[in-house]
Amino acid sequence: MVKVYADERERASKVPKYLSAMGVTVIYKQLPVGDYIPAEGIVIERKRVDDLAKSVFDGRLFDQLRRLKETSDKVVLLVEGSLNYLKSRYASRYKAIEAAVVTASIINSLPVIYTQDTRHTAEIIKYIAEKFQESKQKIPTPSTYKKAIKPKTTDLKKWQLFILSSFPGIGPILAERLLLKFGSLRKVLTSSPSELSRVEGLTEEKAWLIAKIVNENYASTTSVGTGLTKFMKYKSKNSEDST
């Protein structure tokens, strides 16, 4: 069975409906980046031609693609719609749009795929899902991100991001959100799970795991598993200690 993760915002488009009609199981999630995850480690950013033009003119395109490349090794920019529309709608500025896409794709080593419409987009996503899920025998996961690289300098911000993103389920983007929210690495690590889970993208499960890693005595640590029930004993004990 072929499975594809789609961002919640894609519900309004026809792409998921076409995927379902093609026999693909579509799972909606609030993805941290991108619009679709068709296979493990692959993120697709879908842009309609009108949105592409707007993102070029307001300067968002390069920043969006940079952040995408920071989170995954394989990112695909999928441009949907007629290029003739862009040429007629933005006649005097079409070359600027074209140049921006070419430059962004080269700088970020980013493949660009052009599709005619939403049905064609669904066909491409299905093909990628079938091709790469079959070769790796892995279904996609919504937590696709690339860990921060160990800093080679004494830049404190980079070290804070690196240390925090080394926790299970925490990537560079979520690590930055936590640091911006709490102000320092110490405050993040000493905050309660309920406080941590208020940050967008951090589930209660991840918050309790962070607390367990930080507070558990080293001599008594064991492998922790992945279900929320694995942390209930710790959660109950912690709640009793706070009463």
- The tally of domains found in the chain comes to 2
- Based on the domain organization, do 105 and 164 belong to the same domain? no
- Based on the domain organization, do 15 and 127 belong to the same domain? yes
CA distances from residue 165 to 160, 174, 176, 210 in whole angstroms, order as listed: 8, 8, 9, 11
CATH number of the domain encompassing residue 75:
3.40.50.10130
User: Which pLDDT score, from 0 to 100, does residue 223 have?
Assistant: 53
Structural domain includes residue 143 = no
Distance of CA 129 to the CA centre of its chain: 17
Quote the CA–CA distance of 189 and 181 in Å, as a whole number.
12
User: Which pLDDT score, from 0 to 100, does residue 243 have?
Assistant: 46
Is residue 225 predicted with pLDDT exceeding 70? Answer: no
- Structural domain including 235 reads 156-241
User: Which pLDDT score, from 0 to 100, does residue 211 have?
Assistant: 86
Is residue 157 predicted with pLDDT exceeding 70? Answer: yes
- Based on the domain organization, do 179 and 83 belong to the same domain? no
Give residue 236's identity as a one-letter amino acid code.
S
Give residue 183's identity as a one-letter amino acid code.
G
- Based on the domain organization, do 30 and 128 belong to the same domain? yes
Section 2-10 average pLDDT: 92
Structural domain includes residue 148 = no
Is residue 137 predicted with pLDDT exceeding 90? Answer: no
Quote the CA–CA distance of 95 and 89 in Å, as a whole number.
12
Structural domain includes residue 182 = yes
What confidence tens digit (pLDDT) does each residue in 192-205 have?
888 888 887 777 77
- Based on the domain organization, do 118 and 222 belong to the same domain? no
Is residue 90 predicted with pLDDT exceeding 90? Answer: no
Q: Which of 66, 101, 136 is the last residue of a domain?
A: 136
Is residue 185 predicted with pLDDT exceeding 70? Answer: yes
Quote the CA–CA distance of 111 and 60 in Å, as a whole number.
18
Contact 43, 33 (CB under 8 A): yes
Quote the CA–CA distance of 109 and 140 in Å, as a whole number.
22
- % of the chain surpassing 90 pLDDT: 30
Contact 171, 147 (CB under 8 A): yes
pLDDT confidence of 234, banded at 50, 70, 90? very low
Section 183-187 average pLDDT: 91
Q: Which of 82, 105, 136 is the last residue of a domain?
A: 136
Section 47-58 average pLDDT: 91
Is residue 232 predicted with pLDDT exceeding 50? Answer: no
- Based on the domain organization, do 194 and 119 belong to the same domain? no
- How far from each other are the two terminal CA atoms of the chain, in whole angstroms? 48
Is residue 107 predicted with pLDDT exceeding 60? Answer: yes
Position with higher pLDDT, 172 vs 45: 45
Q: Is 211 exposed, middle or buried (0-12, 13-18, 19+ CB in 10 A)?
A: buried
Give residue 130's identity as a one-letter amino acid code.
E
Quote the CA–CA distance of 243 and 238 in Å, as a whole number.
9
Cα angle 118-21-130, degrees, rounded to a multiple of 5: 80
- Based on the domain organization, do 165 and 132 belong to the same domain? no
Dihedral in degrees, nearest 10, Cα atoms 149, 153, 159, 162: 0
Element (H, E) at 43: strand 42-48
